[in-house]
Amino acid sequence: MAGIGHTIEARSTNFLLTIGDDRKLTWASQNANVAEITLGSTIFSSGQKELKVPSNTMNQSPLVTDILLSEDFDEWIVLYKWMLRCKNRNGSHLNETKPISLTLLTAQNKPSTTFLYEDAWPTEMSGIQYAVDTDGSTVLTTTAMFEYNRFIVETANGERIDESYTG
C-alpha cells in the first residue's frame, strides 16, 4: 500500500483525454471519469450455509466526459461520424473501436497514471445548448459516453494492471 509520505494531493484538473493510437485526437475536456469497477460475487454452498464469494467477473461503468467544443464544432462532428461508422458497418463493428487514454498529470504537468479504455466506441453524445440570454462567455461542450471492452491502468513506473493481475 502506498500513501505514506505523499505530500501533493491529486488534482482533478490535470489530465489529457486522447482517442486513438495516433494521438491526433487529444481534446480539451472539462471532466472525465475513471471507470467504476464492480467485482461480481457468486454463491458457494458450504454445508448448512451459503456463502458469498468473489466471482471471476468484473463490470466497468462507461467512460463519460465533457468535451470542450471549438468554433468549427470539429470535436462534435468527429464523434458523430464515428458513431455513424459504428452503426453502418454491418458486422465489422470492431474495426471502428479505438483506444482512449485518460492521462493524469502531476503538478509539474508530467504524465503520471494513465487509464486506458481499449476497444472503445461512442454510444451517446449530448446535444448542444445555445442561449441568447448569456453573456457570450459560456463555453460550449458536449457530453460523450463510451463503452469499451478492456480497462488497463498504467502507473508512473510503467506497471500495467488489467483484469489478469494476480499480484
Closest CA to 120 of 104, 103, 101: 101
Contact 162, 152 (CB under 8 A): yes
Q: How many CA atoms lie within 13 A of 118 on its CB side?
A: 7
pLDDT at 159: 92
Is 79 in contact with 144 (CB distance < 8 Å)? Answer: yes
- Neighbouring CB atoms inside 10 A of 114's CB total 18
Q: Which one-letter amino acid corresponds to residue 149? A: N
- State mean pLDDT over 26-49: 80
Q: Is the pTM of this model over 0.85?
A: no
Would the pLDDT of 126 be above 80?
yes
Confidence (pLDDT) at 154? 93
Cβ-contact 82, 43 below 8 angstroms = no
Q: How far apart (Å, rounded) are the C-alpha atoms in residues 39 and 20?
A: 28
Homologous superfamily of domain range 15-161: Hcp1-like (2.30.110.20)
At 69-88, the pLDDT tens digits run 888 888 889 899 999 988 88
Provide the pLDDT for residue 44: 85
CA distance 88 to 94: 12
Residue % of the chain over a pLDDT of 90: 24
Q: What is the mean pLDDT of the chain?
A: 81
Question: What pLDDT digit, counting tens, does each position of 100-123 carry?
Answer: 998 887 777 788 889 999 999 999
Torsion of CA 114, 55, 60, 1, to 10 degrees: -30
Residue ranges covered by each domain of the chain: 15-161
